[in-house]
A and B are shown apart, each in its own frame.
Chain A
Amino acid sequence: MENLLKPDFGVLLLTVCNFLLLVFLLKKFAWGPILGALEKREAQIESDKQTAADARKSAEELKKELDERLAQISNEAAQKMAAAVKAGETQKEQLLAQAKEQAERLLSQATQQIEAEKNKALADVRSEIASISMLAASRVVEQDLQADNADKIVAQVLEEVQKK
Chain B
Amino acid sequence: MDVAETISHHILDHDWGVTLGGFRIPVTTHSVTIFAVSILLLLTLSWAARKHTSRGGKLVSVLVEEYVSFIRGGIVIPNMGKEGYGMLPYFCTLFLFILSVNLAGMIPEMKTATSNISVTAALALCSGALIVFSGLKYHGFVGFLKGFVPSGTPAWLVPLLFPLEVISLVIKVCVLAIRLFANMLSGHMVLICLLLIIFIVGEMSKAAGVGALVPAMALEIFMTCLELLVAFLQAYVFTLLTAIFAGSVIHTH
* A interface with B by C-beta (< 8 Å): 1, 3-16, 18-23, 25-27, 29-38
Contacts and interface: CB of A to CB of B under 8 A. Distances in A.
Contacts of B48: 30, 34
B13 interface: yes
Interface stretch (B64-72, B131-139, B226-234): B64-72
A23 B119 contact: no
B87 to A, nearest CB: 10
Given A23-B89, A23-B93, A34 B52 contact: yes
Interface of B: 4, 7-8, 11-13, 24-26, 28, 30-31, 34-35, 38, 41-42, 45-46, 48-50, 52-53, 64-65, 68-69, 88-90, 92-94, 97, 113, 116-119, 121-123, 125-126, 185
Contacts of B119: 11-12, 15
Q: How would you classify the secondary structure of chain B's contact residues: helix, strand, loop or mixed?
A: helix
Given A12-B118, A31-B88, 17 more contacts: A3-B8, A3-B12, A4-B8, A4-B185, A11-B30, A12-B121, A12-B122, A15-B31, A18-B35, A19-B123, A19-B126, A29-B46, A30-B49, A31-B49, A32-B49, A33-B49, A35-B68
A161 B53 CA distance: 133
B31 A1 contact: no
Contacts of B89: 23, 26-27, 31-32, 35
Contacts of A37: 52-53
Contacts of B185: 4
A163 B189 CA distance: 157
Contact of A15 (B25, B34, B46): B34
A64 B17 CA distance: 83
A98 to B, nearest CB: 85
A112 to B, nearest CB: 104
A125 B42 CA distance: 141
11 contacts: A11-B28, A12-B119, A12-B121, A12-B122, A13-B26, A14-B26, A26-B93, A27-B93, A29-B46, A32-B89, A34-B53
B93 A9 contact: no
Contact of B31 (A7, A11, A34): A11
Contact of A7 (B42, B64, B68, B121): B121
A160 B89 CA distance: 146
A31 B123 contact: no
A26 B92 contact: yes
A76 to B, nearest CB: 56
A38 B121 CA distance: 33
A7 B13 CA distance: 11
Given A10-B26, A23-B93, A15 B45 contact: no
A10 B50 CA distance: 35
B243 to A, nearest CB: 15
